[in-house]
Amino acid sequence: MSHTCKSLVIHCMDFRLVDQIRDWMTKEKLMKDADVVSLAGAAKNLVDGNEEAKNVLLKQIEISSSLHNCLKVYLVHHSTCGAYAVSYNFASLEEEKKKQSEDLDKAVEVIKEKFPNLEVSKIWVEMKDGEGKEVEIIEL
């Protein structure tokens, strides 16, 4: 295969964060060396009990791994995520972050079980305003 990439970035489809995620990918030198999957809730799809959604995301990981030889998966979650708000009534940002962090840990296990050679990183985007213009991006 003549076209390969090092990474796969899985992030939420939230329009408020498109520019910030693109900027982060550029800073991390992923912009021209990563496959990108955008789904509501991102890795939530691997752990929320919906087998169809789980299989769709696992298929994307399989394609990136087998077709483009990616070595690393970045799971990008964010605060005030609508996909989580539909499922949970969080009392605080800390409660939401805790739940999403737990889900990210479970998602890593799911990925590693099926793709043991892939490295997986968990990324948290904390929105400092409701529009996503100010964010803090950290690796968990």
pLDDT at 87: 86
Q: What are the boundaries of each domain within the chain? A: 7-139
Encoded tokens for 50: 């919906």
What's the CATH superfamily of 7-139? Carbonic anhydrase (3.40.1050.10)
The Cα 97–Cα 77 span in angstroms is 9
The Cα 129–Cα 127 span in angstroms is 5
Going residue by residue through the chain, which has 140 residues, state the pLDDT in tens, using 9 for 90 and above: 468 899 999 999 999 999 999 999 999 999 999 999 999 999 999 999 789 999 999 999 999 999 999 999 999 999 999 999 888 889 999 999 999 999 999 999 999 999 999 999 999 999 998 888 899 999 99
pLDDT at 130: 82
pLDDT at 66: 95
Q: Please name which of 17, 38, 122 lies closest in space to residue 72, comparing C-alpha atoms.
A: 122
The Cα 99–Cα 121 span in angstroms is 17
pLDDT at 2: 62
